[in-house]
Chain A
Amino acid sequence: EVQLVESGGGLVQPGGSLKLSCAASGFTLSGSSMHWVRQASGKGLEWVGRIRSKTSNYATEYAASVKGRFTISRDDSKNTAYLQVNSLKAEDTAVYYCARHGPWDGLDVWGQGTTVTVSS
């Protein structure tokens, strides 16, 4: 079964950091671009960023709201993608999803999400 499982969320103080993980199973991560999307409680979906595959030199792109604070990486040998979140603000509180870029287009596989709460 093709699956993504996120982990690493939690409660963190403003200004703090976390590293979220996205473990893939049932497919090889190396051939896919991987995205992170977040959703604040009761709100819509917000794209956070993307890391492309090795063939695209692992290029990364970020939303303006997180650029310079968040970093996406991947370890294809572990079939895992990561989202390092630094300098966290209250407005970063959300469920964070990782998702695979599908072979044709769109985000075709999603994880169950991991919750990040930024509060003192």
Chain B
Amino acid sequence: DIQMTQSPSSLSASVGDRVTITCRASQSIGSYLNWYQQKAEKAPKFLIYAASSLQSGVPSRFSGSGSGTDFTLTIISLQPEDFATYYCQQSYTTPPTFGQGTKVEIK
């Protein structure tokens, strides 16, 4: 199975900050990388597919980049509603696997 490793596991940031989360795959996955946001006690929400394509309705302050094994999710100008846990997921091969999550907390 492909292992997905996110860093950091958690971070503290303030409203208005720029936040970057990294996701690394244990082998090359091309651009088969998706990102999700999950708030406490809620289902995950789909943010980005194919490494950099924004899902419809997702604010443009979210962006994704990368290919191969290294990927990033960037949130420019963090908003109060962005405090949540973020997961990357590879869809290159079965089983699809998730990173362990990055919790974005209020500083």
Contact = CB atoms under 8 A, between A and B. Distances in A.
A47 B44 contact: no
Q: Which interface class (under 10, 10 to 19, 20 to 34, 35 or more) fits B? A: 20 to 34
Contact of B34 (A44, A50, A63, A107): A107
A113 to B, nearest CB: 6
Given A110-B44, A112-B43, A47 B34 contact: no
A77 B58 CA distance: 32
Contact of A105 (B44, B50, B100): B50
A106 B46 contact: yes
A112 B44 CA distance: 9
B99 A107 contact: no
B98 A108 contact: no
A45 interface: yes
A106 B43 contact: no
Interface in B78-107: 87, 89, 91, 94-101
A97 interface: yes
A35 B95 CA distance: 11
A45 B46 contact: no
A61 B50 contact: no
A79 B97 CA distance: 27
Interface of A: 35, 37, 44-47, 50, 61, 63-64, 97, 99, 102, 104-113
29 contacts: A37-B44, A45-B36, A45-B38, A45-B44, A45-B87, A45-B89, A45-B98, A45-B101, A46-B98, A47-B97, A102-B46, A102-B49, A104-B49, A104-B50, A104-B53, A105-B32, A106-B34, A106-B49, A106-B55, A106-B89, A107-B34, A107-B44, A107-B46, A108-B49, A108-B55, A110-B45, A111-B43, A112-B42, A112-B43
Given A102-B55, A106-B46, A108-B49, 13 more contacts: A44-B100, A44-B101, A45-B101, A46-B98, A47-B95, A50-B94, A63-B95, A104-B53, A105-B50, A106-B89, A108-B55, A109-B46, A111-B43
